[in-house]
Amino acid sequence: MDYLDGLNQAQREAVEHTEGPTMVLAGAGSGKTRVLTYRIAHIINKGGSPFNILALTFTNKAAREMKERIGKIVGESNAKSIWMGTFHSVFARILRTEAEKIGYPANFTIYDSDDSKRLLKEIIKSQGLDDKVYKPSLVSNRISAAKNNLLTPQAYQQNLTLAKEDQQSKKPMIGKIYEIYDKRLFKAGAMDFDDLLFKTNILLRDFPEVLNKYQDKFRYLLVDEYQDTNFSQYIIIRALAAKFENICVVGDDAQSIYSFRGANIQNILNFKNDYPDVATFKLEQNYRSTKNIVKAANSLIEKNKEQLKKDVWTDNDEGHRIKLMRAITDNEEGGHVANTIFQVKNNEQAHHKDFAILYRTNAQSRAMEDAMRKLNLPYQIYGGLSFYQRKEIKDLLAYFRLVVNPQDDDAIKRIINYPARGIGKTSMDRLILFSNENDIPLWQVLCNINQYPVQIGNAAKNKIVGFVEMVQSFIAIAEKKDAYETGQLIASTTTILKELYADKSVEGLGRYENVQELLNSMKEFVEDADQSQGIPKLADYILDIPLLTDQDEKDKEDSDKVTLMTIHASKGLEFPYVFVVGMEEELFPSQHASQSQTELEEERRLFYVAITRAEKQCYLTYSESRYKWGNLTYSQPSRFLQEIDEQFLDLSGAAAVTSKTPNHRFPDPGSNWGGNQTRRPSSAGTSTTGTVKPTTPPSRFKPTSRLNASNKGGSSTGGAPSNLAAGMRVEHGRFGNGTVLGIEGVGENKKAIIEFDGAGKKQLLLRFAKLKVT
DNA sequence: GGTGTGTAGGTTTTT
DNA sequence: CCTACACACC
């Protein structure tokens, strides 16, 4: 048990206290995963059976890594026997075993959010509702929230608060949509993500013998990232833990960032109420970051009101201050980041994989990617569209889904006419209508198309028969052959492979390669499978694919690449050098969040997470303008930049950070965001994009001095003339000549709408735009 | 009835 | 900028 020696006092106590309710409050970088790992190993070393342990992690990757580490202490076979994974994957597995009890096939399909939105959209339209009012994504969020709070469609419709909210937002039919949606899912033998938790709750509530079985089985419960659990997850845990109360939750309220997904920070704040005799351990020593980073993060997070008292500290070096960098455009921002990486990598002999670029929204990755490519820096981008969400992959998977679960209506709709085989929209509309009105699965309708009174031309009918026969042959094959053989057969028989191969465009080539990659992964799956359990079938391969994320797939540990990801995706990770980019109002904090205090606090926690990923050095960057939907918009530095105590910041790379509260301590406080720009974006001499060769990264970008110098020189109103009016001809450094169509807004928000001869219509804020009347 | 082209419209964050 | 839907043609 020498592993205990490597732990500090608090960590060790948390590890050794294996019985009874336990809460570990773990500050960022305080060795939380270590504690969890050793605690599980310790339970086994003390004679606990690995079969009796259930550990719920936030990602499957985290589970895999933890298992590996545990295996090194207690042996691989022990580690293998532990139930470990995300809530969704663990309970999907249980639901498959117990499916009939709640009326589902064991092969039930899991719908990802894309699938459920498609279904919702169809329902909304079939109800004669406007899908611009009832936006599928909005309705989906609403239903998701209901499910995560264990509200059935009936409960939803009877809930006065919800009814009132829906009335007020002029969407009174959401409850009804929810009801139909649920029926359709059931009919299709499908569950969405939230159902995996919801139905687990139903199962444990309605079948005491099942509850009892799993209570006995999971005698030791461990939940990682407890601050990000939602009500539905909370009730599952509470039910499973009720018998032995060997429940250990680990988390950090300061890192709760998933409330949009129903996560309830109260779960961790109230843990004491549920288990009064809980043993609480606080891990406060940070082993990850420098003093500067830890203190800067502390100074930020203390602005939040709602939190458990913690005092995170570190013995590590002082380190460097957090460096603030300013750019003129998002492309330049990318350039700065790429150049800095290039320099630091050379100066410090760092590897590419030591760097991470974190952003608030996936859309920001583009500018960063471009910049990385320009300097030939290898990078790996996580998140965004995952492999399995690509259209070509989803199409092929839809065939697989249909073969495994013919009830899956959505799969049929997706592929009945892909590749095009002459079964069009009109036919499908009629078939779907008939199927829904008579509550007959679509597949059954198709199989007996000649017996049902559906108005469809003979040509289409014949094609449907052909389709059905093809799918039936797949079903027969899938029962006998392995997943790879079946997959290969489907991909070629449907001519999907041929179609994609024929497309010789770059994108087409990519799609073809993706499908090949999917088939390769099926081959690997078959080869890796434990053949003693029987032939690894298609069903075994596809069932839980929707639960896989990007990160679960391609983690080539050895690949030396810069990491690009959202801050959300970076949770739990650490990097020597971290760039948090896009530190701008409306972006971070997101425009959505600046309204309410709770949302703002969550954004602040998100920023806290971002900073605390860094081990040695953290950089914060912002840009004064960025392209949104193809046109330039202007932005202000994030308010969060001013919430970090100045003594931990290095402002030499940033110009004045102005704010709505003018009297603060950044240098050059009065600097003219009010319209004294003497430079225009395109003439930014420091811009590196496209001009700098990898061999000569400039060490010269210092917007501050340049801007200040020019500001001091020109006290004029450098920007647009105040008498600008519609009809005037103007010249803009970037967009060329144009005609003013109108002026809008007042004061600092005054903007001109200008039709540029070459660049089209633009809205430019006068305080930024350098316009010359011609 | 199916297939191809224009133009609206859309960006948090994810299992 | 990119994707999804609506309209006009075959």
Per-residue pLDDT tens for A138-147? 899 999 999 9
**Rounded mean pLDDT of A686-691?**
29
Torsion, Cα A378 A380 A385 A389, to 10 degrees, reads: 110
d(CA A473, C1' B13) / Å: 43
Among A621, A603, A617, which Cα is nearest to A567's? A603
d(CA A19, C1' C8) / Å: 72
Tokens of A13: 């106590």
Q: Which nucleotides of B are covered by protein (CB under 7 A)?
A: 1-4, 9-15
A740 sits in which H/E element: strand A736-744
Read off the pLDDT of residues A184-232 as tens digits, 9 standing for 90 and up: 999 999 999 999 999 999 999 999 999 999 999 999 999 999 999 999 9
Residues with Cβ within 8 Å of A712's Cβ and at least 6 positions away in sequence, in order, are none
| Percent residues over pLDDT 90 in chain A | 55
Pairwise CA distance, residues A453 & A350, whole Å: 70
Is pLDDT larger for residue A668 or for residue A212? A212
**Nearest nucleotide to A627 by CA–C1' distance?**
C1
d(CA A421, C1' B3) / Å: 11
pLDDT of residue A67: 93
Res. A700: pLDDT tops 80: no
d(CA A377, C1' B12) / Å: 28
pLDDT of residue A321: 96
- Look up residue A664 and give its DSSP letter: S
Read off the pLDDT of residues A345-361 as tens digits, 9 standing for 90 and up: 999 999 999 999 999 99
Pairwise CA distance, residues A464 & A115, whole Å: 23
Among A148, A179, A145, which Cα is nearest to A162's? A145
Pairwise CA distance, residues A367 & A335, whole Å: 9
DSSP-derived 3-state class of residue A717: coil
Per DSSP, which regions of A224-310 are E strands?
247-251, 279-283, 285-286
**Rounded mean pLDDT of A34-54?**
95
The answer to whether the C-beta of A121 is closer than 7 A to strand C is yes
Q: Which residue is nearest to nucleotide B14 (CA to C1')?
A: A261
Tokens of A297: 């993060």
Is pLDDT larger for residue A700 or for residue A587? A587
**Rounded mean pLDDT of A457-465?**
86
Residues with Cβ within 8 Å of A538's Cβ and at least 6 positions away in sequence, in order, are A400, A403, A404, A478, A483, A486, A487
C-alpha separations of A511 from A312, A417, A497, A517, A738 in Å: 48, 18, 10, 10, 42
**Rounded mean pLDDT of A563-585?**
94
Q: Is A252 exposed, middle or buried (0-12, 13-18, 19+ CB in 10 A)?
A: buried
Cα distance between the two ends of chain A: 81
> Which stretch, A293-307, A520-534, A760-774, has highest mean pLDDT?
A293-307
Distance, CA of A227 to chain centre: 17
According to DSSP, the β-strands at A760-765 and A751-756 are antiparallel
Read off the pLDDT of residues A605-618 as tens digits, 9 standing for 90 and up: 999 999 999 999 99
Res. A684: pLDDT tops 60: no
Please give the mean pLDDT across all residues of chain A. 84
Q: How confident is the model at residue A61 (pLDDT cuts 50, 70, 90)?
A: confident
The answer to whether the C-beta of A630 is closer than 7 A to strand C is yes
Is pLDDT larger for residue A542 or for residue A681? A542
Res. A655: pLDDT tops 80: no
d(CA A583, C1' B8) / Å: 31
Q: Would you please indicate which residues of A are annotated as catalytic (active-site) residues?
A: 32-33, 224-225, 255, 613
pLDDT of residue A715: 29
**Nearest nucleotide to A363 by CA–C1' distance?**
B11
A731 sits in which H/E element: strand A729-732
DSSP codes, A545-613: GGG--HHHH---TT---EEEEETGGGTT--EEEEEE---BTBBTTBTTTSSSHHHHHHHHHHHHHHHTT
Q: How confident is the model at residue A672 (pLDDT cuts 50, 70, 90)?
A: very low
Is pLDDT larger for residue A413 or for residue A611? A611
| Residue A647 phi, psi (nearest 5) | -65, -15
pLDDT of residue A732: 59
Instruction: Note if the pTM is more than 0.95.
Output: no
> Which stretch, A26-40, A410-424, A431-445, A581-595, has highest mean pLDDT?
A26-40
pLDDT of residue A153: 96
Res. A178: pLDDT tops 90: yes
Res. A769: pLDDT tops 70: no
Q: 3-state SS of A33-66?
A: HHHHHHHHHHHHHCCCCHHHEEEEECCHHHHHHH
The answer to whether the C-beta of A505 is closer than 7 A to strand C is no
Q: Is A192 exposed, middle or buried (0-12, 13-18, 19+ CB in 10 A)?
A: buried
Q: Which nucleotides of C are covered by protein (CB under 7 A)?
A: 1, 5
Among A575, A578, A584, A628, which Cα is nearest to A603's? A584
pLDDT of residue A461: 87
Res. A692: pLDDT tops 50: no
pLDDT of residue A758: 55
Res. A713: pLDDT tops 60: no
Q: How confident is the model at residue A429 (pLDDT cuts 50, 70, 90)?
A: confident
**Nearest nucleotide to A606 by CA–C1' distance?**
B13
Distance, CA of A574 to chain centre: 17
